[in-house]
Amino acid sequence: MTGFSANLGFLWTELTLPEAIRAAASAGFDAVECHCPYETPAEEVKAALDETGLPMLGINTERGNLAAGENGLAAVPGREQEARALIDQAVAYAKAISARNIHVMAGFANGESAHQSFIENLGYACKEAASHDITIVIEPLNHHDAPGYFLNNADQAADIIAAVGATNLKLMFDCYHIQIMQGDMTRRLEQFMPIIGHIQIAAVPSRAEPDDGELDYRHVMRSIRSLGFSSPVGAEYRPTSTTEAGLGWMTKIA
């Protein structure tokens, strides 16, 4: 059974993170994930996870200086020390709450120097995470939502994963971003499944509930299961109204 993971970066944002974890459990989710949980003490998050029995599938590294519009630092040349400090922060927090994955944010950059910075920082992240049984994931973002983001397609991600050569480096395959940038969803899933560490879904192009838009997630979910992916699929969408009002999609596409 695949099931679904509630992305608490977008769902139940009016609640504290521990309260959101409990809400996800009450709604029938099989797991949770979030973006940047660092303002909440790790022991409070761990207590909510233990209480509900939900695993935390993943967290992100901090994005950097939000006021300056940063969206990660790992591929930004000259920011290696800061990028690795954010990686250290994420590894410590993930260890404390038993999170399975850390999404290392690349940031806005381009060119060969950015490519090399990303590879070197990912190598550092994989080494630091390995002893804690944590997987590092990287996620291509589409050029409408994140113009100028270094990592923007799954082929580029696959090349980087091969270059780093770490067994705990995987692809975060967000169907929303991949559909916008590359399409051909079923074949993309087949092609990249050997390196996929996590999958996320949302309607395309609205990024609303996944029972709307141009992708038939009933078919996508069948494909995911047929390819042997058994971990909960991340629901990373922006609710049209309240989170509770839109949860009908869970039975429609399961």
Question: Active-site residues: which are they?
Answer: 139, 236
Distances (CA, A) of 237 to 60, 71, 185, 210, 241: 16, 18, 18, 7, 12
| Burial group, residue 86, by CB count within 10 angstroms (0-12, 13-18, 19+) | buried
SS (HEC) of 97-123: HCCCEEECCECECCCHHHHHHHHHHHH
Residue from 62, 76, 71, 79 nearest 115 by CA: 76
The helix/strand count (H/E) of the chain reads as 9, 8
19, two tokens: 């309260």
Residue from 171, 173, 180, 251 nearest 215 by CA: 180
Residue from 154, 67, 64, 162 nearest 109 by CA: 64
How many CB atoms are located within 10 Å of the residue 97 CB? 21
* CB burial readout 173-196, b (16+ within 10 A) else e: bbbbbbbbbbeebeebbeebbebb
The amino acid sitting at 174 is D
